[in-house]
Structure 1
Amino acid sequence: MDYRTQVAHHEAAHVVISAHFGGGPTLHGIDINIVSSVAGAFGNAGVGLLVLDNARPEEEQRHVLVQNIAIICAGAAADARTMTRNVNDALQRQTGDLGVAKAEIAKSPLVEGDEEAKHVLQVGMQTAEALLAKPAIWDAVVNVAKACLANGGRLSRDDIEALLFQSTSTT
């Protein structure tokens, strides 16, 4: 798999997993041509994280936190799948996504200490990996990635939503 195709799958995975949890793409959509936050890397997907509502029961808040970490880690989980890497190795190679996931965990008042933070990161990564193993979800990632590549490396929110609606209505 060439680099652009891998980046398209990585960014598509963020968007598909976000949509799966009720988030989805933001106005930004996907652009695999722009420089990412990591030196030498390209690609960005605008995705909506889920809102952590402190008024909800703590168990529900923890569940939403794990879902957000899964959204952030979805790109690395896609990398593991497309490049036949260990999922933890793939996440360590994605320093930008790893940093965002750690920051999201660190700002949560529900997580106390390094061991619990590591556990939340691991559960989020495993959740992303398990979701991408589902054929319908992986097919949606592939469809979004192919459409992004066919459109010069960019895909709007409306185009992504049309693809996601199409793939969920036919399954």
Structure 2
Amino acid sequence: MAVKVIVGTVLLTLIVVAMAAPISVEEEFSNFKVKFNRTYATPEEEQRRFNIFKENFDRIQEHNKKYEAGEVTYTQGINDFADLTREEFKSRHLGLRLPKDRTLSGASLKFDRNYATPEEEQKRFGIFKATYERVQDHNKKYEAGEVGFRLGINQFSDLSHGEFTQKSKGRKPSDEDGNPF
């Protein structure tokens, strides 16, 4: 009887320890490929993407340790972009270009994106313009001391809230209200 209790206790302890063990970067990469439907043309490309993923994974882990220590106020996680270098991400997803003075001057903003139709371009400009106006209103409040931080225009300013969520978290848009915040 005592032997069964000891064996049972040891097995239960091993199960608890195994469940608490951190997941390996290889397992994370495998989960990433399934979740975001990633396949690579060659084993060499897959190894390259794994190496990039590992660098990003390690950076995320280091950041989250800072969060746990109270050094930063947010956590990071794996998303659809985790197998891209920073340069690849910038070249593929940071296409919004503003005039040098960073102001909205009529409809003359230049987008470094190719929209499928003029209607799509008009829709994107409308979302961008509404975002720009919200940012300007917020920053007036900042100048008046009513809020403690400034906002700015970024590469996501022509996306609706749902589209932003999809790009940043790999989910489908659920809110098409035009608000990217």
- TM-score clears 0.5: no
Q: Which has the greater radius of gyration?
A: 2
Q: How does the TM-score come out when normalised to structure 2?
A: 0.22
Higher helix share: 1
Q: How does the TM-score come out when normalised to structure 1?
A: 0.23
Higher relative contact order (CA closer than 8 Å, sequence separation 6+): 1
